[in-house]
Amino acid sequence: MAKDKDKTVSTLGSQKSQVAFDEEKIISLWKEIKAFERSVSKHAPKGNYVFYDGPPFATGLPHYGHILGSAVKDTVARYQTMRGFRVERKWGWDCHGLPIENIVEKDLKVSGKKEIEALGVDVFNEYAKSKVLDYVSHWKDTVERIGRWIDFDGSYKTMDNSYIESVWWALNEINKKGLVYEGTRVLPYCPRCETPIANSEIAMDNSYKDITDISVYVKLELEDAPNTFLLAWTTTPWTLPGNTAAAVNEEIEYVELRIKDKELGEESIIIAKERVGVVKEGYEIVRGFKGKELVGKKYRPIFDYFARDEKLANRENGWKVYSAPYVTTESGTGIVHLAPAYGAEDMELAEKYDIPFVRHVGSDGKFTKEVTDFAGERAKPKEDHQSGDVLVIKDLAHRGLLFAKEKIVHSYPHCHRCETPLYYFALPAWFIDIQSVKKKMLKLGEDINWIPEHLKHGRFGKSMEAAPDWNISRNRFWASPLPIWKCEKCGKTRWVASVEDLKSQFINNGNTFIFVRHGESEHNVLNIATSDPKAPYRLTGKGKDEILKVIREIKDKDIDVIYSSPFLRTKETSTLIAEKLLISENIIEDKRLGDFDFGDFDGKPFAEFLEYEANNMDTYDTPIRGGESYLDAKKRFGDFLYEINKNHKDKTILVVTHGIGLEVAPALVEGADMRRSKEIIDTIEVSTGSIYKFDFTPIPHNKNFELDLHRPYIDEITLSCECGGVAKRIPEVLDCWFESGSMPFAQKHYPFENKEWFKENFPAQFIAEYIAQTRTWFYYLHTVSSILFGKAPFENVVTTGTVLDEDGEKMSKSKGNFPDPAILFDKYGVDALRFYMLSSPLMKSEDLNFSEKGVDEVYKKNILRMKNVISFYEIYKGDHKEAKSEHVLDRWIIARLNETIKEVTDAMEAYKLDQAHGPISRFVDDLSTWYLRRSRDRMKEDSETQSEALSTMHFVLKHFALVSAPFSPFLSEEIYQKFKEDNDPESVHLAEWPETKKTTSTEESLIVSMALLRSVASLALEARAKAGVKVRQPLRELRIKNKELDKKVELLEILRDEVNVKNIVIDEIIDTEIVLDIEINEELKMEGDLREIMRAVQEARKAKGLMPKDLARAKIYANEELQRVARGFVAEIKKSCNLSDVEITDLESPSDEFLVVLE
């Protein structure tokens, strides 16, 4: 750790610095004054500024990549807030897809679709839902600690019904445009997850891995020329059992080679002329010919599993040579084997020529039963990706069809979630027609400002140009279900755009329910809580009158049947109604309609229950002591409602129950979650004799009777078809990238809510993520937005690089090749880490080899320097706030401040965050190492120049807090809190951005001149060091070649003091830039000795912990020469070092130079 004066405390092996303590105090301050909430609610003269925050998965802990992204977004949000915008910031969670499914499979010890279905999709998905937010508290702690302001508690989730409903709407709109179709395509496929994988996901980090595979040269014997073989080459031997054709290029030159083999005898091989080298030796060329001579020739199947199937479609076109222009001689043999189900080009050729299409490897990655020699074996398993190839190769070798084999190392795609090797697999799926909208997408992409710019027409533009149609379906479980139903009778598809749309198409029994609470009972008068069905509480006279009123209201409703709670008061109510309506034989008792189970409070005063409820039952699922929860009651009423509705059709059903029944029924009809259900029960008033009438339509719901659009609940919903048939939902779920691409509107439940808001605030002004999202989230956002709204979804995009370890390797928890972020927070504070990353090449989309030394450097050069500046200022600050200074140093630092504000503002307006950090670092350097050092003595003196210096410092520090606020939110707040006045906002992040002033020509000249002065000073100090002369030793003269400083008296005086010379001469004749006279006479030496003595006294004061204003007595032990100097300048020593007395005496050891002791 840096050796500074910070207080440190041990925390789990790390050291918590004072900087970290200070930052945590700032977090507490922000919470106390509700700074974030006020930043959003305060007046925003420029209106809303919208940015999109990519939702992370909550299935792991946040890492440096997340911290980087959060720092970028927080910096821009703070800046735009200070510029006068309202920047709403809501967190989001990506909940669906393979990441969580893989975790669930491990936890539940199941693998693959069959085992999941055997376990139960409901069990699997409910567990997935419970696991989604496992790490939320860790994320919240980290996000808060890194200083990011965002609404974390009000986060949206892609698994929310409202989000899914918006996604359904979007899909329907795209379908209405004729852009959705069902088809069979060869797609990247994961056999372990048993689902296609998006091309964009394969292009993401770590999807391609270098692996060693076996390539083979296999012999295809021509039917019309026995013992003559086509030599085909493939790097995927496992696909050979699915071979149904071969391809050549008509224009390529081929040759027939005669080969003699001791074991096999003589045979002929056909190969492209340019690839003869692969045969190596032992051959002679028989003849040469063009590839078109081979087209149409038939060959004997290398595996006949499918060839002998007489019912195979297009069998007559199989095992024949076809022409394909994509065949080249760059590798292989110029002859390509075709397995149409496992290659996109193979399938295109098969569709063109009606070549047989066979699947010899199933969706589970295993050879099918038709492949009798290898049935059930995995073709390319994760554990041993060569095993399937080896099985095939051994069989070919045994039958003499293997010409050669060799190992190859190549980059191969793997599942980005489970790391299983992928292969290309033809399967039916649903697609969005990208080709029809690609031109529009490319045009709209021109409206986006990219940082860095090269991505616009580079990675992003090229991704759009090469984009295939979008496969939006997945054969999985935990995701938004595709809202498509297909009729079992006529095959017609029906699309659902919303929950209400679903209800309108649902095959409903058409029942109407009327819930009635019993009339007033004796227990109501006694105010007793009772849940005993046998309790002898009858209706009162008033209660009977209430029910007669109910009868008058429902007499024309044509009641078909009455269901009643078995309690005496409800039975009396039911009987009275039945008698008056002449339907007494249709009363059915059902214990599920009973009163609330009050548990330990049964038979006790109702007020005691209410008191217990208020103090203990704060959630809907909290049970009363010894009894049930409101959720328990809702579930039994839900069981009743769905069962009875199923058993009746087009009936009016009267339900006589208790208050609890009418309290939970609205939640059942609505499908309310627990929060909403409790809201209903807390606000609803249900008096005796109350009525609740509703037409009931079942909805997809979970075990808590909450609306749940996930599988398997949505699969239970069947729709009516115009043909009279029943439509069932197709089993596929939606590609999670479509959910992500819908984020701008789905997070707002558009268009079902917030229509005006979305209309006014779309597109977003800003978005930021790391480079891999260029081909994924950014692309999918753009695709969905272009199709739905005809606009690019965002105006400005900042794309960052990837954070790697110090050696350029991927950061890995198992390797432990990176420092724990929490330890760095404690060691250096968050500001240093944020500043380090945001000023790095990461902001140019370049990778960063993360180095703790880099964080330490920022910590020392920026954070500690500013803290030291503040500490010094506070010692002398007094009350100097208004004095205006004409001192050249004061004018210069103000000019530099204005220049910095202008540079930072320009960079931030251009979204070039790294260029905004540079000016701040340079200003900190100028302020601490030049302005303060050169003004230190002025600030100590009790004079007019002290007031000017301190006033200038006050102004500079307060404005520095403003301009640095987005970049160093903690340090800037700490500074601001020291300088804010009563009428200032409570936080620097609630203040306005400092005014950007144009630098005047005078200021520009001063800045240039001061830079020249410092350059000259640097040369002079280098000359001193080279000569071995300390800076405290005055010298006679410095000669300068550059005449720019001539007659600039104030600047020359600063230079003279800086390099400690008596005289400065401008001399254009000298050969070098400067000439320093290093000859020291007696007078100069004495002055140098005096400075050494005073330095030693000041060091002694510092070591003793004295403040500048503290008087002290000094005892100076020195040799005879230094005693003479000290005695000659006692007055100067006392004044300069704030001493009341100075005693000068002999050294105890003659070898020492001198020693200072303070008393």
Residue 290 pairs with which residues in a beta bridge? 253
For residue 926, give the DSSP letter. Answer: I
The sign of the CA dihedral 308, 311, 313, 315 is: positive
Report CA Rg, the chain: 41
Residue 655 pairs with which residues in a beta bridge? 515, 563
Is 1073 one of the annotated binding-site residues? no
Nearest partner of 304 among 282, 289, 319, judged by Cα: 319
Residue type, 603: G
Nearest partner of 1030 among 994, 1084, 988, 1075, judged by Cα: 1084
Is residue 186 within 8 Å of residue 347, measured between CB atoms?
yes
Q: How far is CA 325 from each of CA 292, 328, 345, rounded to the nearest angstrom? A: 11, 8, 11
Instruction: Return d(Cα 1017, Cα 44) in angstroms, integer.
Output: 48
Is 520 one of the annotated binding-site residues? yes
Instruction: Return d(Cα 27, Cα 1049) in angstroms, integer.
Output: 48
Is 449 one of the annotated binding-site residues? no
> Tokens 């990837």 map to which residue?
802
Q: Is 948 helix (H, G, I), strand (E, B) or coil?
A: helix
Q: Cβ contacts of residue 753 below 8 Å, gap of 6+?
A: 162
If residue 924 lies in a helix (H) or strand (E), which one and from where to where? helix 913-925
Q: Is 646 helix (H, G, I), strand (E, B) or coil?
A: helix
Q: To 10 degrees, the CA torsion angle through 673, 679, 685, 691?
A: -20
- 215 φ, ψ to 5°? -95, 150
- 351 φ, ψ to 5°? -65, -35
Q: Is 847 helix (H, G, I), strand (E, B) or coil?
A: coil
Q: Cβ contacts of residue 1106 below 8 Å, gap of 6+?
A: 1112, 1158
Instruction: Return d(Cα 375, Cα 987) in angstroms, integer.
Output: 70
Q: Is 195 helix (H, G, I), strand (E, B) or coil?
A: strand
Is 308 one of the annotated binding-site residues? no
Residue 1061 pairs with which residues in a beta bridge? 1035
Token digits of residue 619: 């959630």
If residue 145 lies in a helix (H) or strand (E), which one and from where to where? helix 136-145
Is 951 one of the annotated binding-site residues? no
Cα 658 to chain centroid distance, Å, stands at: 49
Task: Tell me the H-state helices in 790-843.
Answer: 821-828, 830-838
Could you tell me the strand order of the sheet in which 652-657 lies? 587-589, 561-564, 652-657, 512-517, 691-695
Token digits of residue 173: 């709109």
Is 474 one of the annotated binding-site residues? no
Is 66 one of the annotated binding-site residues? no
Nearest partner of 103 among 122, 129, 73, judged by Cα: 129
Token digits of residue 506: 């649902």
Q: Is 1143 helix (H, G, I), strand (E, B) or coil?
A: strand
Instruction: Return d(Cα 482, Cα 497) in angstroms, integer.
Output: 10
Strands 1035-1040 and 423-432: unpaired
Is 756 one of the annotated binding-site residues? no
Residue 272 pairs with which residues in a beta bridge? 254
> Tokens 């103090």 map to which residue?
615
- 11 φ, ψ to 5°? -135, 100
Is residue 1034 within 8 Å of residue 1010, measured between CB atoms?
no
For residue 278, give the DSSP letter. Answer: G
Q: How far is CA 1154 from each of CA 1104, 1112, 1158, rounded to the nearest angstrom? A: 18, 19, 14
Instruction: Return d(Cα 502, Cα 505) in angstroms, integer.
Output: 5
Instruction: Return d(Cα 1002, Cα 1004) in angstroms, integer.
Output: 5
Annotated binding site: 517-524, 569, 813
Annotated binding site for ATP: 813
Annotated binding site for substrate: 517-524, 569
